[in-house]
Each structure stands twice: as C-alpha cells, then as structure tokens.
C-alpha cells in the first residue's frame, strides 16, 4: 500500500472512531494485565464474564495472590486453558509484589519476564494502560496486514515491525485498536464484509465481497 493511501486508510478509521477502546473490562493497569493474560485463545466476552465477579473482590496483586490458585481456577474455569492461566496469574502476582512494589512495570522487557506475558500481551498493556504507541499483532492484525497490503509478513513480529514503520506517527497510539475492531467486525476471517468497508478502495485484497 502506498504511503498516501496508508495515511488516508487511518484518517478514515480515526474519523469513524476517534477514541477507540479495547473490549476487555478492567479497573486499573493490574486488572488489565490479568485480563489480557486470560484472553489468550479466548474471546473478550468470555473473559469479561469471568473477570467481572473476580475483579469485584480482587483487584490488586495481593488480593488475587491471597485467593490462591484453586480459588482463582473456580473464577476463571469458563475460560480456555484456565488451569495454566490460573498458575501463571498467581506467579505473576507474586513477581509484582516481590519485584515491582505491586505495580505493573512500564517496559516491555520487564513485562515479558512475568508469567504468561508474551510480546503481544506486553504491547497491549503498554498501549492501553500507559499510552505507548505500540502495535499488538493478534490474528486480526496479522490478517489485515497481509490481506490489505498494509504490512505483509510471514510472522506476527514481521507484521508488527512493518506496521510500526509504515503507520504515520499521528495514528500510532490508536492504530492497533482500529485494526482489531475492523478485523473483528468488518474485515472478518472467513467472509470480509467489503461492501460496507470504509477503506475498501484502498485495500489490495482481490477477492472483495459484495452484499
């Protein structure tokens, strides 16, 4: 995609949704971190159903650590891979209490040292909690990067690096939200709804759909 088209692509997404928000519910940076860890291979809706009751009684590392792994499992048992995730969240809480004065660190390096936290999770937390202009490449961003011609790549990291380089700075902070929402509701995996896409004319996808 040409530089001018990329600018127009994001200008339209911004015009359509000036202040995009993630769909995971949270009350502070810590609960956001926990929610993102729980969201791996799960839907935001499913995670929110489980974390609503959990965060109502435990919204700090100390409180969730005090629950213990078994009780935490009961709260999140409707989420896929809940046993492994419960173990990781308890370890994560322990590390935050021990090493970070119970605060969520604001660097990718420190975040990635926490149990259950990979590059994508760290990027989401840095972006939403701290306003860093990071790009978290999930399945939606990976698909859009390749399908639209915006940032073709064989790996999520390759797509991430290209997006960071190609997206104009003025749009970087909200870019991953716009792309996630666009991929979730318009540029869907199986059948993209090109006929109602506001950037269809800029997109390189050859198999455009009609209503």
Query: Could you identify the residue written with the tokens 């990979």?
Result: 118
**C-alpha R_g of the chain:** 18
Is 138 annotated in the active site? yes
Q: Which of 2, 63, 138, 154 is catalytic?
A: 138
Q: What angle, 0 to 180 degrees and rounded to 10, lies between the N-to-C axes of helices 29-38 and 82-99?
A: 150
149: phi > 0 → left, psi -120 to 50 → alpha, else beta; which? left
Is 2 annotated in the active site? no
Find the helix or strand (DSSP H, E) in which 167 lies.
none
Q: How far apart are the C-alpha atoms of 89 and 64, rounded to whole Å?
A: 8
Q: Are 138 and 164 in contact (CB under 8 A)?
A: no
DSSP notation for 153-182: -SSHHHHHHHHHHHS-GGGHHHHHHHHHHH
Asked if residue 93 belongs to a known ligand binding site, the reply is no
Binding residues: 187, 194, 197, 203
Catalytic residue list: 120, 138
Binding residues for [4Fe-4S] cluster: 187, 194, 197, 203
């Amino acid at each position: 995609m040409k530089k001018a088209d990329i600018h127009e692509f994001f200008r339209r997404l911004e015009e359509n949704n000036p202040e995009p928000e993630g769909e995971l519910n949270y009350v502070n940076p810590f609960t956001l971190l926990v929610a993102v860890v729980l969201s791996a291979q799960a839907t935001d809706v499913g995670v929110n159903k489980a974390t609503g009751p959990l965060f109502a009684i435990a919204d700090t590392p100390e409180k969730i650590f005090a629950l213990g792994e078994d009780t935490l499992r009961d709260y999140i048992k409707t989420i896929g891979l809940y046993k492994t995730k419960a173990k990781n969240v308890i370890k994560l809480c322990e590390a935050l209490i021990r090493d970070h004065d119970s605060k969520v660190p604001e660097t990718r390096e420190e975040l990635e040292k926490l149990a259950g936290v990979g590059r994508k999770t760290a990027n989401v937390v840095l972006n939403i909690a701290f306003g860093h202009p990071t790009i978290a490449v999930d399945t939606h961003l990976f698909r859009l990067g390749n399908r639209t011609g915006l940032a073709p790549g064989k790996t999520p990291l390759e797509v991430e690096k290209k997006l960071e380089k190609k997206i104009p700075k003025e749009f970087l902070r909200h870019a991953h939200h716009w792309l996630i929402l666009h991929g979730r509701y318009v540029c869907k995996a199986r059948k993209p709804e090109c006929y109602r896409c506001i950037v269809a004319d800029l997109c390189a996808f050859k198999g455009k759909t009609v209503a």
